[in-house]
Chain A
Amino acid sequence: MKALLARLFAPQWAGGWTAMRLAYVAAALITIVPTARFIEDAYGAQDAVFSHPPLRLNDVYHPTLAEAWGWWGGAVLGLLALGWGGRLARPGLLLYLVCLWVYLGAEAMNTKAYHRLLTWEALALLFAPIGERTLTEKWRSPFARYVLLLVFMAMYGSTGWLKALHEPAWIDGSVLQHHLVDLHFGVKPLGAWVSGQRWLTAPMGWITVIFEAFFPLLILFRRLSLPTLLVGASFHVGIALMMEIDAFSWVALAAYPVLLHPEVAEGLYRRAQAWRDARRPA
């Protein structure tokens, strides 16, 4: 038992957490900062206020317009502290999480998958060594990475198996065809064009289902983690180019530096470091 736990919790290269912390801050800022345009209309509105599950905060508290600005500002400030790192990282993350959910609760209707994913990723970051500098030269507990792996295995796996078992139209490409022209998250010019090409949407549908359904298995193998994540990165870039849900792609991709097997990630980092050193004038 002790030997098994020692193997399970053996320290892993921690450099990926620095990349994820910074990518996470960028993705969260891209998601949250632009919503300031709608504070008066939605988050701080006093007329169109809804109490909607799972966020029933408005049954007990709804912010005034000034308070809504305060919650937005708190979330942004917390993210900046997380981005700064060091001793500010963890308090910043906590401030951001609290402010974000009060802010989302005030609006109540538009808690998207990327808000949930941001929160699950933040949970992993809370246990990660985000307060330390020079993580590229350190090896730390893999617990936070395991949390993140479980989140992504659940996310990709559940949506992949639901597609595989319950929607046969993923095989003929017609599901993608119709999603790409949905007025509420599609109709980008490239997506609209692709939606008319069944010879493209059919294989794209197969790749989506295979990638999502088998991600929980493939990501566990050291040698397969890089190709699996490259397919995932193409999948998310494709979504960003063809659909109006760019935020989800950036939020998901922010976690990839940590999802990559730490030994592979360290190897890539050392190669990049050697390449940079070789280009430096003597």
Chain B
Amino acid sequence: MRDARTLPFVLQVPAALALLALGGWFALCYRYTLNQQQDAFYREHGAFIRFSAFQMFTEKSVTQATTELESQGADGAWTLIDMPTLFPAIWDSRYRYEDPAIRASPTHRQILASATCGRLKARGEAPLAVRLFVVRWRKTVGSVEQPRSRGLSREQLLVWDCSKPAPLPAGVRP
């Protein structure tokens, strides 16, 4: 005899309603993803919608972008920092410090800059300040090498005094 069983009838109605609600939720998320730039509700309450919205690799992007930081020594000279050795965490092929969301948020930039000061000091250096740049250039299709030869731009986003405290989230225990 076949070992077969399913939901009892009393649970079938709520189960069907739950499936309808889930489908409706996904439809709503799709609708807001479609119009996210224009929609004030999405900009205000987009966090939960983002959890359920999928728009992977939709848009064409012809530009590479990365984050660079420089530190200022006691002599006043600025030196490019080897960020991957200070912040080695990497997801897919992007280092955590390169996340565009860090560049986009003034608070996040300050936290990254302050953490960079702290990690340089822990290595025995004494930076007076660090500055943060976004570097962009055109992608080269058909090549593993991505030379910074076309459309190169370097924009300074922040100069941070290393003596200042960072605006860390409240959950960090001193």
Interface residues of A (CB under 8 A from B): 2, 5-6, 8-11, 37-38, 41-42, 45-54, 56-62, 64, 107, 109-110, 112-113, 116, 137-143, 146-147, 150-151, 153-159, 161-163, 165-167, 169, 174-175, 177-187, 189, 192-193, 195-197, 244-245, 247
Closest 4 CB pairs of A and B: A196-B142, A54-B47, A154-B26, A38-B89
Asked if residues A11 and B4 are in contact (CB atoms below 8 Å), the reply is: yes
Asked if A62 meets B50 with Cβ closer than 8 Å, knowing A9-B6, A139-B2, A167-B60, the reply is: no
CB distance from B99 to the nearest CB of A (A): 5
Residues of B within 8 A of A139 (CB): 2-5
Asked if residues A109 and B96 are in contact (CB atoms below 8 Å), the reply is: yes
Residues of A within 8 A of B114 (CB): 47
Please name the residue on chain B nearest to A39 by beta carbon.
Answer: B89
Asked if residues A192 and B34 are in contact (CB atoms below 8 Å), the reply is: no
Residues of B within 8 A of A158 (CB): 26, 29-30, 33, 53-55
Residues of A within 8 A of B7 (CB): 9, 141, 143
CB distance from B165 to the nearest CB of A (A): 11
Asked if residues B61 and A8 are in contact (CB atoms below 8 Å), the reply is: no
15 interchain pairs (CB within 8 A)? A47-B168, A48-B112, A57-B171, A58-B169, A62-B172, A62-B173, A109-B96, A113-B56, A143-B7, A143-B15, A154-B30, A158-B26, A165-B34, A184-B92, A196-B143
Asked if residues A192 and B142 are in contact (CB atoms below 8 Å), the reply is: yes
The answer to whether B40 has its CB under 8 Å from any CB of chain A is no
Most buried by B among A38, A50, A61: A50
The answer to whether B88 has its CB under 8 Å from any CB of chain A is yes
Residues of B within 8 A of A193 (CB): 142
A157 to B90, CA, bound (A): 30
B12, B29, B47: which contacts A8 (Cβ < 8 A)? B12
CB distance from A12 to the nearest CB of B (A): 9
Most buried by A among B92, B102, B108, B168: B92
A-B contact count (CB 8 A): 213
A64, A112, A192: which contacts B144 (Cβ < 8 A)? A192
Residues of B within 8 A of A138 (CB): 3-4
Interface-lining segment among B16-24, B125-133, B149-157? B16-24
A181 to B101, CA, bound (A): 21
Most buried by A among B46, B52, B98: B52
Asked if residues B60 and A174 are in contact (CB atoms below 8 Å), the reply is: yes
New A-B contacts (16) at CB < 8 Å, excluding given A64-B173, A179-B57, A183-B94: A8-B16, A38-B96, A50-B108, A54-B50, A58-B169, A60-B170, A62-B173, A116-B51, A137-B3, A143-B15, A150-B26, A159-B56, A174-B60, A181-B142, A183-B64, A187-B144
Asked if residues A109 and B102 are in contact (CB atoms below 8 Å), the reply is: yes
Please name the residue on chain B nearest to A50 by beta carbon.
Answer: B108
Residues of A within 8 A of B59 (CB): 166-167, 175
Asked if residues B6 and A11 are in contact (CB atoms below 8 Å), the reply is: yes
A137 to B3, CA, bound (A): 7
Q: Which of B109-149 contact A (CB under 8 A)?
A: 111-112, 114-115, 118-119, 139-144, 146
Asked if A150 meets B22 with Cβ closer than 8 Å, knowing A9-B7, A167-B59, A181-B146, the reply is: yes
Asked if residues B144 and A62 are in contact (CB atoms below 8 Å), the reply is: no
Residues of B within 8 A of A245 (CB): 92
Asked if residues B99 and A150 are in contact (CB atoms below 8 Å), the reply is: no
A134 to B66, CA, bound (A): 51
A9, A113, A156: which contacts B15 (Cβ < 8 A)? A9
CB distance from B88 to the nearest CB of A (A): 6
A159 to B125, CA, bound (A): 47
A245 to B89, CA, bound (A): 16
A10, A53, A159: which contacts B58 (Cβ < 8 A)? A159
Residues of A within 8 A of B33 (CB): 158, 162
Asked if residues A179 and B61 are in contact (CB atoms below 8 Å), the reply is: yes
